[in-house]
């Protein structure tokens, strides 16, 4: 398939690489420039989203936020200007579900299909091709895109119509934030009580408290490795979507609001670009103690 890929950051770069290695003709564009490594693999660089859309049968976007997706799709020289009927647009960014439904409608008015397909798994999952992909959109579009998704992820699920993929991603980010907070509290308690947090983590991994977050982010907390990863400012963007959606639904999400405030505390100390596992630093500041190291 001729595939376009727009947005070649921490996540998009390895995802596009999997598509190239999978034998697809991949047309590339990024506001920071197309990485040389992808061109060397066989990727074809372009200057604008319109050029990418004109050259491809399916166009994937992987950019930071809702306004970025709208600009790429509908701004000057945007994807919409390069579309012809029958093409497929796949947004793999994490954005507002309501805006997603509007974007889908506008793309469908051009005779094309639209999928929202946000991912979970972070940089590690993107590089390994093991992402979880949550898809909203028509069954026909999902079946067309499935061979592409299988090159980038291992757990691929169509949730329902357009917007449902983004709704699932917001739910994912709520659970991830709350689990990071729980792991941080547990390890901080263990360390303050005098136990070795590394040994505690090892013991808990074999029990009911075991999780991928305890495994990966618990280790980050102990080793003080807070390079992203997934930046706090991006997780905050997703929690803003959760809290705005909850207000619209008349729904209380008290623990989600707590995690957002702890992320705010990290940002107040220059941590917008820290990995989201660094939420532990906010709890450490409150406790006057640290899991390890205390940096």
Q: List the catalytic residues.
A: 169
The answer to whether the Cα torsion of 143, 4, 48, 51 is positive or negative is negative
CB burial readout 236-259, b (16+ within 10 A) else e: bbbbebbbebbeeeeeebeebeeb
> What is the spatial distance between Cα 293 and Cα 252, in angstroms, rounded to a whole number?
36
> What is the spatial distance between Cα 165 and Cα 157, in angstroms, rounded to a whole number?
9
- 173 token code pair: 């980010």
> What is the spatial distance between Cα 16 and Cα 39, in angstroms, rounded to a whole number?
11
> What is the spatial distance between Cα 25 and Cα 42, in angstroms, rounded to a whole number?
8
> What is the spatial distance between Cα 167 and Cα 164, in angstroms, rounded to a whole number?
5
> What is the spatial distance between Cα 35 and Cα 129, in angstroms, rounded to a whole number?
19
> What is the spatial distance between Cα 228 and Cα 11, in angstroms, rounded to a whole number?
11
- 100 token code pair: 């997603």
């Amino acid at each position: 398939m001729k595939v376009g890929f727009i947005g070649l950051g921490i996540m998009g770069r390895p995802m596009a690489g999997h598509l190239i290695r999978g034998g697809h003709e991949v047309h590339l564009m990024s506001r920071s420039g197309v990485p040389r490594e992808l061109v060397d693999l066989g990727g074809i660089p372009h200057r604008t989203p319109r050029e990418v859309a004109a050259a491809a049968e399916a166009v994937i976007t992987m950019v930071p936020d809702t306004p970025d997706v709208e600009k790429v799709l509908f701004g000057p020289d945007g994807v919409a200007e390069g579309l012809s009927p029958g093409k497929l647009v796949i947004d793999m960014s994490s954005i507002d579900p309501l805006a997603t439904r509007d974007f889908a409608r506008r793309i469908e008015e051009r005779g094309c299909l639209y999928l929202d397909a946000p991912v979970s798994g972070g940089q590690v999952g993107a590089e390994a091709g093991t992402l979880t992909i949550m898809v909203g959109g028509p069954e026909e579009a999902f079946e067309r895109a499935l061979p592409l998704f299988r090159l980038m992820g291992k757990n691929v699920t169509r949730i329902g119509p357009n917007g449902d993929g983004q709704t699932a991603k917001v739910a994912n980010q709520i659970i991830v934030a709350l689990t990071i907070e729980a792991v941080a509290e547990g390890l901080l308690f263990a360390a303050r009580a005098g136990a070795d947090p590394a040994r505690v983590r090892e013991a808990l991994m074999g029990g009911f408290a075991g999780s991928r977050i305890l495994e990966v982010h618990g280790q980050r907390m102990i080793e003080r490795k807070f390079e992203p990863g997934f930046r706090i400012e991006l997780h905050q963007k997703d929690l803003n979507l959760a809290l705005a959606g909850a207000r619209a639904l008349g729904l209380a999400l008290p623990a989600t609001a707590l995690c957002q405030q702890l992320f705010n505390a990290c940002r107040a100390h220059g941590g917008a670009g820290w990995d989201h596992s660094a939420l532990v630093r906010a709890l450490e500041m409150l406790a006057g103690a640290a899991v390890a190291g205390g940096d």
